[in-house]
């Protein structure tokens, strides 16, 4: 900006000097023939204010103005005036050139300063960028190292997990084999004991007193309880190990399952003077399911209803809702379940009445097994109960 101002000022100064000098001294020479001086060249001088004519002789110039008045001017003075004008023009041009040089210098200096600033900024940017790259590289190296260590740890964990899975598989196989062997070893002699006790009971029943009759009933009850416990343990083991053979087929749940179970539990129902009612609200109770697991569901529910009901009636209702889903409800008028215990009802080895003083037998696997068998057959089980008034278990099978 300063250089531009200097250039403008110098230009104005030079223009003023030249204008002033030309106005006073600018002379245009033109030889013109004059009548009164036919033998002499005439010098015509033109300035900005007057029209002048000179008649040149050998040593002097005659000045003629417009009124034809003459004045004699020595030629040396004219030459000196012209020489001073030329010197001033050269000085003015030199001054202008000096200003141009200064202006160029200022421009060069400014450009150099700007270039230096740009270089400094560029260098700073490069330094910052290099520093940032180093920082990011260090961070990436740390992350890579961390990932490498994590991968090593994960591989170690996976290796241990695989070893654990193999050990668990071996343990499950050993457990399954053990349970199968034990169940066979226990079930065979118990069945033998029950069979011979039944034969002895039939032979001695007419001679036996009440105490002996009670003994035979105790043997039968204990043997049946033991066999049922073994069956529950084996079934739960199969479900947990995933070895249960799910065989879906069409069954009529009321005729094939419920009525068959009612015949099996008829003796127990009569012994407790209970009444069993089977109510068919729908004529079509067929569905696709695993017959064995469905049989186990209702065997456990009916067994519990008989066990916890001292008097009254047990109802089994078979129905089909508007969504074409088969619904079976087992309703009793027994002991009932407290509302606090219902959320824990289907947990393994869970019983509301625990300890050695409990009134009812059981190992807490029955309803847990019922829940798993329902899930296996894509069924839902729900319960409504009131302490002292009875319970209602409802199993809803999804539409096939």
At 5-57, the pLDDT tens digits run: 555 565 555 555 554 544 444 343 333 344 443 344 444 444 333 444 444 44
Residue-by-residue DSSP string for 114-126? HHHHHHHHHHHHH
Distance, in Å, from the CA atom of 304 to the CA atom of 353, rounded to the nearest integer, reads 14
Distance, in Å, from the CA atom of 139 to the CA atom of 136, rounded to the nearest integer, reads 5
Distance, in Å, from the CA atom of 60 to the CA atom of 73, rounded to the nearest integer, reads 6
Q: Which residues lie below 8 Å from residue 361, measured CB to CB, with a gap of 6+?
A: 225, 307
Q: Could you state, in order of their start, the residue ranges of all structural domains in the chain?
A: 2-121, 245-397
Calculate the alpha carbon distances from 281 to 243, 247, 316 in Å. 36, 27, 11
- Under CATH, which number does the domain 245-397 receive? 3.30.565.10
User: Residue 310 phi/psi, 5° resolution?
Assistant: -90, -35
The reported pLDDT for the residue numbered 56 is 43
Average pLDDT of the segment spanning 62-69: 43
Name the residue with tokens 């004529």: 283
Distance, in Å, from the CA atom of 274 to the CA atom of 311, rounded to the nearest integer, reads 6
The reported pLDDT for the residue numbered 354 is 57
At 257-289, the pLDDT tens digits run: 999 999 988 888 988 899 999 999 988 899 999
Distance, in Å, from the CA atom of 173 to the CA atom of 396, rounded to the nearest integer, reads 34
Distance, in Å, from the CA atom of 363 to the CA atom of 55, rounded to the nearest integer, reads 154
At 171-211, the pLDDT tens digits run: 877 777 777 777 777 778 888 888 888 888 888 777 777 77
Indicate whether 332 pLDDT > 90: yes
User: Residue 286 phi/psi, 5° resolution?
Assistant: -90, 145
pTM for this entry: 0.55
Q: Between 339 and 183, name the one with better pLDDT.
A: 339
Q: Are strands 275-280 and 313-320 parallel, antiparallel or unpaired?
A: parallel
User: Residue 259 phi/psi, 5° resolution?
Assistant: -65, -35
């Amino acid at each position: 900006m300063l250089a531009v101002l200097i250039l403008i000022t110098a230009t104005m100064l030079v223009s003023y000097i030249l204008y002033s000098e030309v106005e006073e001294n600018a002379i245009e020479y033109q030889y013109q023939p004059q009548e009164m001086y036919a033998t002499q060249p005439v010098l015509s001088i033109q300035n900005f204010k007057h029209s002048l004519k000179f008649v040149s002789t050998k040593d002097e110039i005659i000045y003629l103005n417009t009124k034809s008045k003459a004045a004699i001017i020595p030629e040396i003075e004219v030459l000196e005036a012209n020489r001073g004008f030329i010197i001033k023009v050269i000085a003015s041009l030199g001054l202008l050139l000096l200003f141009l040089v200064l202006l160029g210098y200022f421009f060069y200096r400014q450009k150099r300063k700007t270039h230096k600033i740009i270089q400094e900024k560029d260098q700073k940017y490069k330094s910052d960028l290099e520093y940032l790259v180093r920082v990011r590289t260090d961070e990436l190296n740390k992350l890579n190292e961390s990932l490498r260590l994590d991968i090593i740890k994960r591989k170690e964990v996976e290796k241990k997990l695989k070893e654990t899975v193999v050990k668990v598989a071996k343990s499950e196989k050993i457990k399954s084999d053990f349970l199968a062997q034990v169940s066979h070893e226990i079930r065979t002699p118990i069945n033998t004991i029950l069979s011979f006790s039944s034969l002895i009971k039939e032979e001695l029943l007419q001679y036996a007193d009440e105490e002996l009759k009670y003994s035979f009933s105790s043997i039968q009850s204990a043997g049946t309880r033991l066999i049922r416990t073994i069956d529950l343990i084996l079934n739960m083991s199969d479900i947990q190990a995933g070895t249960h053979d799910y065989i879906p087929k069409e069954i009529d749940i009321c005729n094939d399952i419920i009525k068959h179970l009612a015949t099996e539990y008829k003796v127990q129902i009569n012994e407790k003077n209970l009444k069993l009612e089977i109510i068919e609200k729908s004529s079509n109770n067929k569905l696709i399911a695993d017959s064995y697991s469905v049989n186990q569901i209702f065997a456990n529910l009916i067994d519990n209803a008989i066990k916890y009901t001292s008097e009254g009636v047990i109802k089994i209702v078979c129905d089909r809702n508007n969504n074409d889903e088969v619904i079976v409800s087992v309703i009793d008028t027994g002991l009932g379940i407290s509302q606090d215990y219902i959320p824990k009802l289907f947990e393994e080895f869970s019983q509301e009445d625990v300890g050695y003083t409990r009134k009812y037998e059981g190992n807490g696997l029955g309803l847990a097994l019922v829940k798993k068998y329902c899930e296996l057959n894509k069924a839902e089980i729900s319960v409504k109960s009131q302490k002292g008034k009875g319970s209602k278990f409802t199993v809803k099978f999804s539409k096939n």
